[in-house]
Structure 1
Amino acid sequence: MATAPGATDRRPRQSTAGLWNISFGFFGIQIGFALQNANMSRIFQSLGESVDDLALLWIAAPLTGLLVQPVIGHYSDRTWGRFGRRRPYFFAGAAVAALALFGMPNAPALWAAAVMLWMLDASLNVSMEPFRAFVGDMLDRDQHTAGYAVQTALIGAGAVVGSVTPYVLDQMGIANVAAPGGVPDTVRYGFYIGGAALFLAVLWTVLTTREYAPEDMARFDGHEAQTAETPAPPQSVAGAAGWIACGGATAALVAAAGLAKELYLLAALLAAYGIARLVAARLYLSGRRDHLLTHIVGDFAGMPPVMKRLALVQFFTWSALFIMWIYTTPVVAQYVFGATDPASAAYNAGGNWVGILFAVYNGVAALAALFVLRPLARAVGKVRAHALCLAIGALGFLSFLLVRDAHMLLLSEVAIGIAWASILAMPYAILASSLPQAKLGIYMGLFNVFVVVPQLLVATVMGTIVRIAFPTEPVWTMACAAGVMALAALATLRVEAP
């Protein structure tokens, strides 16, 4: 029977097993991210880097995400072949990420570790970005919250596995201390296990799911299926010039005030966006309206209002998280284990305990996603639920200034875990129900710009703040994290849920 123009059919309702299979690959991806987040500062310091320069070495990760995710989102929206739409990106990214995890702990020098971090983050982003859109592809709108909640639970479970692996290996008798310039075997074998688990988990999703063909997507989404081909509007030349001028002014300020040279990267990014807008306008006016850059810049400038307001929330949220990932190890090692020497047994014990702390907040997130978020959202609405969770997370960061007992820090991580559950689910559930389904990949990729831009800002600015304001007291980085997370909670209240 023919479908009337503009009419839609609904996607088949997925069972619990179907929800599991759709997102199981994210379990493996998060194992890789957890190993990276909990151990990269440790690896860098083992190779001779000082604590106040750690942020600079982390720049590769967010910069890669900034470049990769919109491009992958754009092309995955338009891909269809024998292996589907999103799954080819899952598989290719997982294969390269697994190789990077095998190579990371064997890096012979600091520069090699930085290169491997870039390779790892690029491939993880290639796999991760389509998974966000995949939930929207496969589920009808009334299952979006459930789909992202299951995805968040699997993310939390994967992060637990990645975070505790070095600690468990230590308890099994694997060496947790290495000679100066070396990486402990607990970290080395942990990365090997993580690489294998990542690849196998993504392979599970690739083999157990079948994507809907383009004609099925068109039937499900009706007129929305045509929006992916809508040309982006021309870009404002005046606006482009303003971005370039802002980049130039930032560079001039860095030079005049003698600020840290890594701030030139921030200036370059501002100017680069302005140049991209100029090029996109020229492409559009010359008739090349279907060009990658034209679409990405046009869609970025024309984001829906709900996405713009959520973007501000993401900016503050991920600034706080990136501070936590960079500085928790030196903070816990110094204030709880009394060690500042990365080669000491006490420092490495602190590093392993950070793995346990990160496992706790991820485990709490997995449980909260399944049992707390949905009833809380039904009671107070998605927006207020997210704001409340972020406020609880801010209190968790603030407690690091007061707590000096390793086990009491577990309570701090419970608070952070509640916030983490909401961060991974609520913004995406709101977006997936309010964005054109045919452009879900590109919009999810552009939304993640506001995940990586704050990380770039922290990576370029936080080292300078630490050196100037509290060079021997890194615990104050947690006060900074608490402050920006509180701003995220306030900004959430401006979001209007669809």
Structure 2
Amino acid sequence: MTNKPALSFWQIWNMCFGFLGIQFGFALQNTNVSRIFQTLGADVADIPILWVAAPLTGLIVQPIVGHLSDHTWNRLGRRRPYFLVGAVLTTLALLWMPNAPSLWIAAGLLWIMDASINVSMEPFRAFVGDQLPARQRPLGYAMQSFFIGVGAVVASALPWLLAKFGVANVASAGGVPDTVKYAFYAGGVVLLGAVLWTIATSPEYPPQLLREQADEAPADAPVDTSDAWRPGAVLLALGVALLLAIARFGLEKELYLLGGGLAVFGLLFVWVAFTRSRGMPQQVMSDLYGMPAPMRRLAWVQFFSWFALFAMWIYTTQGVAQSFFGSTDTTSAAYNEGANWGGVLFAVYNGVTVPAALLIPWMVRRWGLRISHLVNLCLGGAGLLSFVVLHDARWLIASMVGVGFAWASILSLPYALLSDNLPAAKMGVYMGIFNFFIVIPQLLAASVLGLLLKTFFHGQPIWALALGGASLVVAGLCTLRVREPEAASQPTATPVPPAPDPL
């Protein structure tokens, strides 16, 4: 195989179909978990630290799963074993979450659920890079965005739809409404079914064949990390200084997460500079230190993009209920009406992802990857900033149209900018490491948003959404620093039968 053959439309459809289920579960989590936390007694200012489980889990799980899947080959394949394990565990967490008897059990279930989603999600990104030639990768990632939109729009609106059909939308104090419970039960079924479809219909190339085609070194080829102690020392010093400042001046406890994270990463870089170990932790940290230059520039784009998204996910429900429906009482009809409208807004932006995913390839052909991503991120930024100037909740639908274009772009164009610069043998681990720049801003948001809400935003979550809008605009400007990859030189290929299957 001198050139990876092009796949047909339906082959790409099948290999991306599992994302429909993954995003169904992910959207239920994003739309309803803050609501469940508040129902179980959490204060609105404490919600960010409860959400820290989600990004911290991704930070740990994704590079590990990526590294393991790079080195896996069995009867089920290379990436597909991880699809299956993650889908089964996520389904179990979805079924249990709305029945959590206490706040801390719900927080633990969020940890389990997000870890399980990450086990499935990370290999899906590498799966596209494995199976598709360079010229088809933008289509593959756009197809994932399409399924993300379809799955998330239904999941986000499901409690609202169930309420329209007469399902109880208000529960007694400390109880989760039936609309949320039934939505989570449906999510478990959809997620498992969609992932099983991809596993059953999409064979994989053996990693050795991919490596021979690319003429690359094995995945465990060493990286020179002798100078890694320099950035490690800087990060360690910053982390220790922040921890001392928190203790000395009595700053918010959430900041311990930020200071501790900086110190841990600093220690890991110092360790990797001097260790003689060749195990998985050393290989993952070496690959992080030696990542390609385009990935370093994209890191800033991802940082500001995902800070904004995290602020939106954890504060939209509270912001809409408080600022547009006038209630912070989780047992009141007004609050729950506002919470359901927040779900509708999530459904809108996810629904816009579907046509946006179809328009983005046209935008890329006309303007290129960088300018297209800049335009879409600015549309999203304007949408979130508009929350502070609008007074009618119905107009927020227009705001979420811009967010939908940004979301579709975030889910596809950074990966299209990145994938051609990654070695096939390390596609999994580098896609996992790329997740660092999704997770780190979420950890920062979890550390500082509660403090900002109390100190500067006067307890009004709507201003956290405005901060997210400004962050999206900054992310768009950072895109201009990223070099556009050269167009793939492969000619248009006629679709051929699927790649060999190990089964």
| Structure 2 length-normalised TM | 0.94
Match of 1:410 in 2: 397
- Counterpart check, 1:232 vs 2:229: no
Which residue of the other structure, out of 356, 375, 378, is the alignment partner of 1:368? 356
Cα deviation 1:352-375 (Å, max 9, x = unaligned): 1111111111111111111x1111
SS in 1 for 2:354: helix
Match of 1:111 in 2: 104
1:37–1:326: 8 Å Cα contact kept in structure 2?
Answer: yes
- Structure 2: give runs of 5+ residues left out of the alignment: 486-503
2:211–2:218: 8 Å Cα contact kept in structure 1?
Answer: no
Q: Note the C-alpha offset of 1:281.
A: 2.8
Match of 1:296 in 2: 284
- Counterpart check, 1:390 vs 2:381: no
Q: Which moved more, 1:267-276 or 1:133-142?
A: 267-276
Which residues of 2 match residues 227-376 of structure 1 at below 5 A? 227-235=218-226, 236-283=228-275, 286=276, 288-289=277-278, 291-370=279-358, 372-376=359-363
Instruction: Specify the code of the residue in structure 2 equivalent to 1:190.
Output: A
2:211–2:424: 8 Å Cα contact kept in structure 1?
Answer: no
- Change beyond 3 A, Cα 1:136–1:253: same
1:136–1:432: 8 Å Cα contact kept in structure 2?
Answer: yes
Which residues of 2 match residues 10-49 of structure 1 at below 5 A? 10-49=3-42
In 2, Cα distance between equivalents of 1:473 and 1:270:
29
2:390–2:396: 8 Å Cα contact kept in structure 1?
Answer: yes
Cα deviation 1:183-212 (Å, max 9, x = unaligned): 000001100100111111111111111111
Match of 2:455 in 1: 468
Which residue of the other structure, out of 62, 67, 71, is the alignment partner of 1:69? 62
Which residue of the other structure, out of 156, 160, 172, is the alignment partner of 1:167? 160
Q: Note the C-alpha offset of 1:282.
A: 3.3
In 2, Cα distance between equivalents of 1:472 and 1:496:
41
Q: Note the C-alpha offset of 1:227.
A: 4.5
Which residues of 2 match residues 125-164 of structure 1 at below 5 A? 125-164=118-157
Match of 1:196 in 2: 189
Q: Note the C-alpha offset of 1:263.
A: 0.8
Q: Note the C-alpha offset of 1:79.
A: 0.6
In 2, Cα distance between equivalents of 1:421 and 1:26:
13
1:276–1:293: 8 Å Cα contact kept in structure 2?
Answer: no
1:52–1:471: 8 Å Cα contact kept in structure 2?
Answer: no
Instruction: Specify the code of the residue in structure 2 equivalent to 1:152.
Output: S
SS in 2 for 1:212: coil
In 1, Cα distance between equivalents of 2:181 and 2:31:
13
SS in 2 for 1:407: helix
Q: Note the C-alpha offset of 1:407.
A: 1.7
1:281–1:294: 8 Å Cα contact kept in structure 2?
Answer: no
Which residue of the other structure, out of 84, 89, 98, is the alignment partner of 2:82? 89
2:207–2:425: 8 Å Cα contact kept in structure 1?
Answer: no
In 2, Cα distance between equivalents of 1:133 and 1:89:
12
Count how many residue pairs are aligned between Structure 1 and Structure 2: 484
Cα deviation 1:333-384 (Å, max 9, x = unaligned): 11221211111111111111111111111111111111x1111111111011
Match of 1:56 in 2: 49
1:306–1:497: 8 Å Cα contact kept in structure 2?
Answer: no
In 1, Cα distance between equivalents of 2:229 and 2:141:
39
Match of 2:483 in 1: 496
Q: Note the C-alpha offset of 1:215.
A: 3.7
In 2, Cα distance between equivalents of 1:219 and 1:60:
39
- Counterpart check, 1:482 vs 2:469: yes
2:308–2:468: 8 Å Cα contact kept in structure 1?
Answer: yes
2:220–2:283: 8 Å Cα contact kept in structure 1?
Answer: no
2:51–2:446: 8 Å Cα contact kept in structure 1?
Answer: yes
- Counterpart check, 1:430 vs 2:417: yes
2:225–2:289: 8 Å Cα contact kept in structure 1?
Answer: no
* Stretches (4+) displaced over 3 A: none
In 2, Cα distance between equivalents of 1:10 and 1:95:
35
Cα deviation 1:249-291 (Å, max 9, x = unaligned): 01011122221112111111111112212332333xx3x33x1
Cα deviation 1:418-451 (Å, max 9, x = unaligned): 1111100000011112211111111110001111
SS in 2 for 1:229: coil
2:100–2:106: 8 Å Cα contact kept in structure 1?
Answer: yes
Cα deviation 1:146-197 (Å, max 9, x = unaligned): 1111111001111112101111111111100000000000001100100111
In 2, Cα distance between equivalents of 1:73 and 1:38:
27
Q: Note the C-alpha offset of 1:12.
A: 2.1
2:90–2:113: 8 Å Cα contact kept in structure 1?
Answer: yes
1:232–1:294: 8 Å Cα contact kept in structure 2?
Answer: no
In 2, Cα distance between equivalents of 1:214 and 1:324:
39
In 2, Cα distance between equivalents of 1:394 and 1:322:
13
1:387–1:489: 8 Å Cα contact kept in structure 2?
Answer: yes
In 2, Cα distance between equivalents of 1:356 and 1:239:
44
Instruction: Specify the code of the residue in structure 2 equivalent to 1:234.
Output: T
SS in 1 for 2:411: helix
- Structure 1: give runs of 5+ residues left out of the alignment: 1-7
